[in-house]
Amino acid sequence: MSQTDPVMDSGPEVQTTGELGADALYQKCMLLARNMWWSWHYEVINLFRDLDPIRWRQLDHNPIALLHEFTPERLASRAAEMVLYSRINYAVRRLKEYMTTQTSFGVTHASILGAKPVAYFSAEFGLHESLPIYSGGLGVLSGDHIKSASGLGVPLVAVGLFYSQGYFRQHLDNNGWQKEEYQDTRVENTPLEPARTRDGKPLTIRIDTRDGKLFAKVWLVQVGRVPLYLLDSNVDGNRPEDRELTNRLYGGNERTRIRQELVLGVGGVRALRELGVDPGVYHLNEGHSAFVPLEVVRERMQDDGLAFDDALREVAHRTVFTTHTPVPAGHDRFSGGLVEEHLGPLRDQLGISYDQLMGLGRVEPQNQQETFCMTVVALKLSRRANAVSALHGQVTRRMWAHLWPWRVEEEIPIGHITNGVHVPTWLAWQMQQLYDRHFPPNWMQRMGEPDVWQNIYSVDPGELWETHNALKNLMLTFVRRRVSRQSRRRGESEDIVEAGRNILDPNALTIGFGRRFATYKRASMLLRDEERLLAMLNNKERPVQIIFAGKAHPADDPGKQLIQRIANTRRDPRFHNRIVFVEDYDVNVCRHLIQGVDVWLNNPRRPLEASGTSGQKTVLNGGLNLSILDGWWAEAYDGTNGFAIGRGTTHVSQEVTDQRDAESLYNVLEEEIVPMFYDRDVDGLPRRWIHRMMNSIATLGWRFSAHRMVTDYTRHCYVPAAGGVSCEMHLH
């Protein structure tokens, strides 16, 4: 790659003593802060925090913003005071080693990708709270994917959009109604730098539409070994409305949407070409980037004079597509007018007619009534397509069966690779230390092996329980701080603000629920039978408390009503503040919740949860899942490693399904969960509960890591798509 290597150009080693080298020290810290690698290494996170713990928190754990508040001299004196010099040097050395290491899974299993990496396209990347260019699960999954690709040494470059205002910050007003606030991200406080072409120039790409030109500049953020390129339409030469095109995730109307996707797909491919990246494989993470193969086909026709059909076949062979939701609204559809306006010039170069182009986005190419669906384009232009859990695979094959009318359902060519999470990102420091003590020395490198996780059974139950409770207390401290801050913000009395600081009981069974407030996720299911719920919450010997968090889409009033209903329980004396709502769910809130809850609740309407990943994060930290048998849980639950709601069936009537699921939820809580949690031995330990925690970690930790996920993608998709020999993906 043509980029100068920031790690290798880092200058001389910082002196370990003396005042010499304040500037060099500052540069070293900046160097650490400018590669997102820091965000999954506790020794570096703790280093930044130790510089100024209060500002660290106030600045959303943003090391660059923090460093900007220091002069080199003040940093040096703070480093001396806190004895940080050797830790800084050590961290820089580790980063250098990481960036240059030659032995990895990628080298031995994906050498075919060496010169021709995978280009991974996604509309959002959730890497860390300090870089808000994601809205939820899809983004966090993309972030975890590229972090794991970096760790495994799988050659991969990533492409996305830079949203200068991100999604939105959520606050509730005095009535519990969600308010959205958009904040500009200051680029100088992010690790973004202009991506440069081989001759060192900052890059701007151009896309022609029927209605004029569209420009985008390209940023680079280094995520370990993976470069992430982010396109940004806020450039001179664009019309004012186009300068704002990439401001927000999922904002605006259909036209905004297709223009964003044009920048991502067509713009992204052009950017890679200008940067001298020659991908061997294209991975479309969700249909948003389905324009990618069309632009690659154009390149192939232009470069090698291939005919359209030949180019298409070749490009499809190299394209991998992952679909992420069975919910119809999750599949972009565009009218013929919008498609022609934005893809017309590209279509001219492809030498295909309007009807041919539209046909690529239709199940029935000739059906003039059908709109242009990005998922259909992606399915037609990729040889390998997959869903994100086994159950989602079945649902997806049924959903798109009419694309292959001559095939039986089992032979629809859509497989599945179940999602997983990036363990170093989601594993609490205290748990990591516990694993370090009891797992084999290099367990992080071997985390895909079941045997490694069997070692959890050799941990003393008391030690595991204490670690969990330490994490639970940290989580409660976080929640209390947030709840009192929320009250202050709403201008409530000092008494209420103070009460927030003492809310919740560290000894009570604590259930967490954090996710998007889409109605199919049924956030308020626990409130369906208030009397039954209140009896559990207010039980004197065996109390239960619940922490909710999550955003509703700005246009989703029913979602906002669910939030309101839950948030307003705090005004209802019967609830005794046993239900709290934490505002502004993001990676930070999620991390705190999943690391500290006893039980993580998920009760979507089956089978609409394609996978879900937050419950996988809980597993790593010793929390137990209580979930509908949907998404990943349908294949994860074995009767001993968590709890199931329902039996994995769906009634034809939605109302009946909801009623039955709620009934089952109450039953499991009353008959299994609460008794098991409060069943203590003479030492005060809930033995059966702790054993279940161990079962959860042992059976699920290795299976639902992003390490395993990226390994699967590499073996079953990337290597074969690049032309190497490997096994094909299991269809089901």
Ligand X SMILES: *Cc1c(COP(=O)(O)O)cnc(C)c1O
Nearer to ligand X, 456 or 590 (CB): 590
Closest by CA to 475, choosing from 439, 431, 444, 518, is: 431
Which residue's CB is nearer to ligand X, number 612 or number 622?
Answer: 612
Closest to 692 (Cα-Cα) out of 668, 667, 663, 708: 668
Task: Name the residue nearer to ligand X (CB basis): 265 or 514.
Answer: 514
The contact set with ligand X (CB under 6 A) reads 136-137, 140, 515, 585-587, 590, 612-615, 617
Give min distance, CB of 428 to ligand X, in A: 14
**Token duo for residue 200:** 């060192």
In eight-state DSSP terms, residue 26 is H
**Residue among 65, 61, 6, 74 at smallest CA distance from 35:** 6
Query: Measured from the CB of residue 604, what is the shortest distance to ligand X in angstroms?
Result: 9
* Least distance from ligand X to the Cβ atom of residue 548, Å: 13
Please provide the DSSP assignment of 583-647 as one string. SS--HHHHHHHHHH-SEEEE---TT------HHHHHHHTT-EEEEES-HHHHHH--SSSSEEES-
Between 26 and 426, whose beta carbon lies closer to ligand X? 426
CB 300, min distance to ligand X, A:
36
Give CA–CA dist 36/719, Å, rounded.
27
User: Residue 418 or residue 613: which is nearer to ligand X going by CB?
Assistant: 613
Distance, in Å, from the CA atom of 712 to the CA atom of 511, rounded to the nearest integer, reads: 32
Q: Looking at beta carbons only, is 521 or 715 nearer to ligand X?
A: 521
* C-alpha span between 100 and 10 (Å, rounded): 14
612 exposure class (CB count in 10 Å sphere: 0-12, 13-18, 19+): buried
The least distance separating ligand X from the CB of residue 486, rounded to whole angstroms, comes to 18
Structure tokens at 151: 């760790």
What is the smallest separation between the CB atom of 406 and ligand X, expressed in angstroms? 35
* Helices 336-350, 254-262: crossing angle, 10 deg rounding: 20
Indicate the residue among 272 and 700 with the shorter CB distance to ligand X.
Answer: 700
Q: Are strands 372-373 and 643-645 parallel, antiparallel or unpaired?
A: unpaired
- Report the nearest approach of ligand X to the CB of residue 275 (Å): 30
Identify the three-state secondary structure at position 701: coil
Q: Which is nearer to ligand X, 362 or 515 (CB)?
A: 515
Closest CA to 580 of 551, 604, 545: 545
Identity of the residue, 161 or 590, whose beta carbon is nearer to ligand X in the bound complex: 590
Which is closer to ligand X, CB of 140 or CB of 320? 140
- Cα–Cα distances (Å) from 705 to 59, 163, 448, in that order, read 29, 28, 7
**Least gap, CB of 396 to ligand X (angstroms):** 17
Instruction: State the CB neighbour count (10 A cutoff) for residue 115.
Output: 9
Min separation Cβ 585 and ligand X, Å: 6
Nearer to ligand X by Cβ, of 665 and 706: the residue is 706
Q: How far is the CB of 284 from ligand X (least distance, A)?
A: 20
Beta strands per DSSP E along 193-293 = 193-194, 204-209, 212-223, 226-232, 281-285
Q: Where are the beta strands (DSSP E) in 382-443?
A: 384-387, 414-416
User: What 3-state class would DSSP assign to 261?
Assistant: helix
The nearest distance, CB 515 to ligand X, in angstroms, is: 4
